[in-house]
Amino acid sequence: MSKTLLLTALGLGAALCAQAGDIHGKVTCKGVRDSADAVVYVAAIPGKTFAAPAAHAKMDQKNLVFIPHVMAVLAGTTVDYLNSDAVLHNVFSPDACCDKFNLGTWPQGQSKSYTFKKECAATLLCKVHPEMEGFVVTSPTPYFAVTKADGSFTIPNVPDGAYTVKVWHPKCKPSQKAVTVAGATAAAFEIAK
Amino acid sequence: MNPSTPPRLRSLLHGLLLLALFLGLAAPASAFPIFARKYQTSCVTCHSVYPKLNPFGEAFRLNGYRMPKETEDLIKQKPVSLGSEAYKRVWPDAVWPNELPGNAPVAVNVKMANVYTSSTDASGGKTIVHNDFQFPQEVNLFAAGTLGEHMSFMAELTHAEGPDGGSGTEIEHARLGFESLFGPEHAFNVRMGKFAPNLYAGFQEMWLMTDNGVDSLFNYNPVGFKGGTGVITDGAGIVSLPARVRGIEVYGVLNHRFFYTFGFSNKIGPGSGVATNTGDGSTQGTPGNFGANNHKDIYLRLDYKFGGMGLDGDTEGVQMPPENWREKSFRIGVLALKGNGTNIDFIATDANGPILDPSDNPYHMQDTSYTRTGLFASWTYSDLNVFGVYLSGKDTLETRSADGLTLYATDDRTYKAYFVQADYVLAPPFHLSARYEKLTPGDTTVQPVKVSNYNFTYLAAANLKFMLEYNKSEQAGVGTNKSINTVIRAAF
Ligand SMILES: [Cu+2]
């Protein structure tokens, strides 16, 4: 391999990285059992819009639990709520950012849907089983991730640039900070109850 | 409260309500947080305000404490295996495998009451007691659960303290259940032990949201002697219906909506043979004792439920609202009980105490034949549930000598009793209940007993409630009792 070719290859690689970086790191939720289920997402980017995805997201109600507990979606996404139990379930939200929707009750094997139109951290509840709780966090950008049990996350394919990154968790106060993405970019968040 | 009320204001209002109810004054049934733990679900899944069951809770109870189409994953507390499933194939070379609940299936209810009572006797004499702190009035220890696929159990030990500090402990329930032994699911179940029979499904114990039971059906003697009081409280003497039985019962739900039960039992009351004269002119039977003679009471009930959730939890073809206490339904049932109290003596009494024969020995009585027939109806329309029972009874009473050997007279007595109750959900934490009941005793010279009951309940949390209750019972010629009770009841 010639020196020129190698340099070119390196240069190309660097250029590709610069176009498609990521934001990775850790969210620490103080005073909470674990740091899972935090949603990290890039706030609305002025002058940029994203088409709503055609594919529906799915949230299950099984054994009296919402699965997954926390889900992140792009604004415009329709979420299908499936009832996998032999008992009736309900889904409603007390949050105004999703119109306080209430889907009624439906039996096993059937789904009802709601489209999350704008940025929103929606709490989902079931009137039949008051202990049931789930969350859909609607991000205005397709750049979002839900943390694992250790708080780690990776938001892939974020173009280089300067952004506001928001973090939300069911039990902690939301927070945000400016992050400049240049290739693989590390960012850490510390939030508390 | 509007959902947009700020959380801080909401918690302040909540706190003030607690305080107001607690300071204002303070009087309260049963709930099994055992199942809340087992399934990790709220009390509100089964109770609108405990102990009152919502339609799902009723189905859960009739299923032998199981969810409809229950799967292993629904049970969040893993049971303890008493033998591998495969041992079923080896039987009888090994013991049939079974299961134990994963955690000790025990729960506690504590009830504290602040009681204000005002009693007026026939001559107008009045006795008032202010702010009697009955802390605690009652502590209940429950055990309940399932043992494998076809068995369940329930036991309740109640310790109650009276206003004077005297106390008593009673096994209120102790029973084993065998569910869906054969045939279609829910169709054939058996239980045995001491229990509240399903004869009273819908109007006793787990269905009443107020602190006061239906006295006219369970706590008064409807067949008095001659011109006597005719009515004795607290179950001494003959009771209109035995609140609990020691017996064997078969019950089931067919085709989702038809309910049947029949059972055989020893009867409760009229006390253990001979009642005792307390010395102050009144006669005290021994409440809650079981008459031991050779005869068994037999009882039967048949119900049908129109609309709403099926009695086994079925919802196919029915649109249920998300508010799980609501439905549009009508349930109707007929009930009957028949028994024979031959050889169970009790002392003939009137307003002055025992009725004495010429040689100053009290006359004895036996209730040699009694039948009770009734009609139950319950109508639920959204937040309102109106239900009631009409009961008529017929007794054959024998008056005998003190040694029980000589028969002096045989009288037939008929009586009737009814109650109607309305429960209303103002909002999930706030409930209203009102009941009117009337017992017309068998002796026409004895005036009817009328009881009214008004209750406001604040369900402060799913397992904590405050009740403000007004109760009035009156009988012309006997007197009037009024009481206001403020009650705290916690289940854990
Ligand atoms: Cu549910």
Distance A130 CA to ligand 1 centre (A): 7
Distance A129 CA to ligand 1 centre (A): 4
CB contact under 8 A, A130 and B70: no
pLDDT at A18: 46
State whether residue B315 sits within 8 Å of chain A by CB. yes
Amino acid letter at B289? N
Distance A87 CA to ligand 1 centre (A): 8
Supply the DSSP string of B203-229, one letter for each residue.
TSGGG--SSS--HHHHTS-----TTS-
CA–CA separation, A162 and A139 (whole Å): 17
pLDDT at B8: 58
pLDDT at B290: 59
pLDDT at A19: 67
pLDDT at B450: 92
CB contact under 8 A, B315 and A131: no
CB contact under 8 A, A63 and B74: yes
CB atoms within 10 A of CB B357: 16
Chain A residues interacting with chain B (CB cutoff of 8 angstroms):
62-64, 85-88, 90, 92, 94, 96, 100, 102, 104-105, 107, 126-131
Nearest Cα of chain B lies from the Cα of A107 at a distance, in angstroms, of 8
pLDDT at B6: 57
Selected residue with higher pLDDT from A8 and B86: B86
Mean pLDDT for each consecutive 10-residue tract of chain B (492 residues)? Answer: 52 50 36 85 91 94 90 88 86 88 86 87 84 85 90 90 76 92 92 94 88 83 54 53 90 97 79 36 43 82 97 92 95 95 75 76 85 97 97 90 84 92 96 95 82 95 92 86 90 88
Strands in B232-344 per DSSP E = 245-254, 258-266, 268-270, 276-277, 283-284, 290, 297-307, 328-339
Q: B423, B209 in Cβ contact below 8 A?
A: yes
**Global confidence as pTM:** 0.85
A58-104 pLDDT per residue, tens? 999 999 999 999 999 999 999 999 999 999 999 999 999 999 999 99
pLDDT at B245: 87
pLDDT at B21: 40
Using DSSP bridges, classify how beta strands A102-106 and A161-168 pair: parallel, antiparallel or unpaired: unpaired
CA–CA separation, A132 and A109 (whole Å): 18
Residues of A with Cβ-Cβ distance to B319 under 8 angstroms: 105
CB contact under 8 A, B315 and A104: no
Amino acid letter at A109? G
Whether residue A112 has pLDDT greater than 50? yes
- CB-nearest to A88 from B69, B315, B462 is B315
pLDDT at A6: 46
